[in-house]
Amino acid sequence: MPMYEYACQTGGHRFEVKQSFSDDPLRACVECGAPVKRVIFPAGIVFKGSGFYKTDYANGSGKNGASSTDATSDSATSESSSESKSEATAEAA
């Protein structure tokens, strides 16, 4: 069961209460009976693994560091080399 911290709005008292998730939040201070508010604490977040930082990818997008522009330039290079091979075979014949 989680522990919740409450702060008294008039007396300045602070106290912790172990409550279930289904329990209603407290409305009165246990010491003076004044209204209370639940204190919210920021939670720490830790990102583990790859893919969370800009430096994880060499060229921007994709797991292998290849962007979409790299893929299109690779296919254009392979097409031009296959054209030159077909031209060379046509000239030889």
- The answer to the question of residue 48 being in a domain is no
Q: Say what the pLDDT of residue 20 is.
A: 93
The residue whose two tokens read 């522990």 is: 3
Boundaries of domain holding 82:
54-92
This model's pTM is above 0.95: no
Q: What's phi and psi for 54, nearest 5 deg?
A: -60, -30
- Overall number of domains in the chain: 2
- The answer to the question of residue 49 being in a domain is no
- The answer to the question of residue 43 being in a domain is no
Which tens digits make up the pLDDT trace of 54-71?
776 666 555 554 444 444
Q: Say what the pLDDT of residue 78 is.
A: 52
In 10 A of CB 24, how many CB atoms?
A: 7
| Banded pLDDT at 28 (limits 50, 70, 90) | very high
- The answer to the question of residue 46 being in a domain is no
Span 17-38, mean pLDDT? 93
Q: Say what the pLDDT of residue 38 is.
A: 93
- The answer to the question of residue 47 being in a domain is no
